[in-house]
Amino acid sequence: MTPDQGGPIDAADMILPGLTGASGVGRGDLPRVVILAYDGVNLLDLSGPLGALYYAGARPDLPWRPRYDIVVASLRGGMVRTTNGLALETRPLGELDGLGIDTVIVPGGSVAGHPPEPADLVDWMRRHAPDVRRVCSVCSGAFLLAAAGLLDGRRATTHWFWAQTLGDRFPEVRVEADKLFVVDGPIWTSGGMTAGIDMALALIEQDRGHAEAISTARGLVMFMKRPGGQAQFSTTLDVQARSDGAFSDLHGWIRQNLARRLKVSDLAEKAGMTERTFTRAYQSRIGQSPLKVIESLRIEAACELLTSKNVSVKQVAASVGFGAEQNMRRVFMRRLGVTPGEYRERF
DNA sequence: CTCGAACGCCGCCAAA
DNA sequence: GGTTTGGCGGCGTTCG
C-alpha cells in the first residue's frame, strides 16, 4: 500500500503515465481522468484528487493496481509552474484528441492574482465538455467552468473565499458556499484545497462502490465522512432535501427518540401505515431504507458527542441508540472506515 | 471470530 | 385493466 513499506506499489509507480511522464498516454480500458494544469495552478488542489484517485481501491493485503488512467495535462505540455513554487511536468492536451476522456478535473489557482479563466483553456473546456462524462473543479477552478458556461443554471460551490465573487461574476450560477462539494448532473464542484479529496472519494464511490471508497479513505488516513458542520454530509438536511416534506414529522420524532430501540414496525405505526406499505413508500420517497437513514442519524449524533463531550464511548453508543459499544464500532468501521476511538483521537 | 436469533428488506402475489 | 395495498416467505445482515 505505501511505498515505504516496500509494497507492490513500487513497481506500479514506474508505469503510471502522466505521473512520471515515462510512457505515453493510455492505459488500456481504465477510465481516463485528465487533470488540467496551468501556470498558477494550486498544487494541493491538483495533487489532492490525484493522490486519492491514484490510490483508489488500494488495500494493504492485495497487490496495488490502478483504477484510473490519470493524465496531468496543460495546453502546451511541458513544465508548468504552480503557485506553491513547484514545477510540474505535464502532457499536452492535444495528445488526448480523439482518445476519449471520462473525467476532467480543473484545480484552482491564481493567474495574475485572479481566479483562473485563461481564454484558451476556457475554450478547450467548452469544446470538450460535451464529450466528457464528468467535469469537476476544485476551489477557484469553478471560475473556469463558469466561464465556459458549464455552470449556468446549476448548483455549484467553490472556496468560501471566492463564493461571493463567483456569484457576482456569474449570476446564472447557484452558488452554495457552505458545501464541501456539490454534484449537479455531470458537473462536480468542490470547495477549497482538501475538499477536492472529499470530492475524489465521492467519484471513487460512484465508480467503484462504497467499499472501495472507504478503503481508499482509510489508506489516505482520511475520513470518508467529515465531522459535523458540513451541510454536504448532513443526513438531516440531505434527507429533508429529497423528501418534499414527506415523513418530516416522522424524522422529527426519530431524532427525538434516537436513543430508543427503533424498529421498522414502530416507524410504520407512527406513520400510520402497515409495515410493507411503509418500507415501500419510504424507499421510494426518500431513496434509502429506513434503517440506513436511522444509522446515519445515529452516526452524526455519535460524532458530535465524541468530539465535543467528555463522555465514554460506551455512553455515546448508548445515548444515540447503538446500544452496545461493539455495535457502534461495527457501524463506524463499515460507514466511516474508522473506529469511534480513532475518530475521537483525531478530533 | 463465531454463532444462533432477531431483524430489515424486497420480490411475489392475491385482494382491494 | 392498471395501480396500490399488505401478507408471506426467503435471503442476507445485524445484534449480542
pTM: 0.67
Residues 236-295 of A, Cβ under 7 A from nucleic strand C = 273-277, 280-281
Rg (CA), chain A: 22
Distance A238 CA to C1 C1' (A): 39
With a cut of 50, say whether residue A21 has pLDDT above it: no
Q: How far is CA A15 from CA A27, A31, A51, A76, A177, in A?
A: 10, 16, 15, 23, 39
> What pLDDT is recorded for position A136?
96
pLDDT band for A241, please (50, 70, 90 cuts): low
Distance A46 CA to B2 C1' (A): 46
φ, ψ at A187 (rounded to 5°) = -105, 120
pLDDT band for A86, please (50, 70, 90 cuts): very high
What is the overall mean pLDDT for chain A?
A: 81
> What pLDDT is recorded for position A103?
96
Strand B contact nucleotides, protein CB < 7 Å: 7-12
Higher per-residue pLDDT: A172 or A177: A172
* Grid coordinates of A191: 470547495
* Grid coordinates of A109: 489557482
Task: For residue A9, give every residue at least 6 positions away whose Cβ sits within 8 Å of its Cβ, in sequence order, or none.
Answer: A1, A2, A3, A58, A64
> What pLDDT is recorded for position A299?
86
> What pLDDT is recorded for position A169?
93
> What pLDDT is recorded for position A22?
34
Q: Looking at residues A103-124, what average pLDDT do you find?
A: 92
Whether residue A18 contacts residue A73, with contact meaning beta carbons closer than 8 Å, is answered with yes
pLDDT band for A248, please (50, 70, 90 cuts): confident
Strand C contact nucleotides, protein CB < 7 Å: 5-8, 14-16
Q: Tens digit of pLDDT for each residue in A114-136?
A: 898 999 999 999 999 999 999 99
Q: Tens digit of pLDDT for each residue in A205-232?
A: 888 877 787 778 777 766 555 543 344 4
Catalytic residues of A: 139
Q: Choose among A88, A85, A111, A83: nearest CA to A35.
A: A88
Q: Tens digit of pLDDT for each residue in A147-171?
A: 999 999 998 999 878 888 999 999 9
With CA of A275 and C1' of each nucleotide, the nearest comes out as: C6
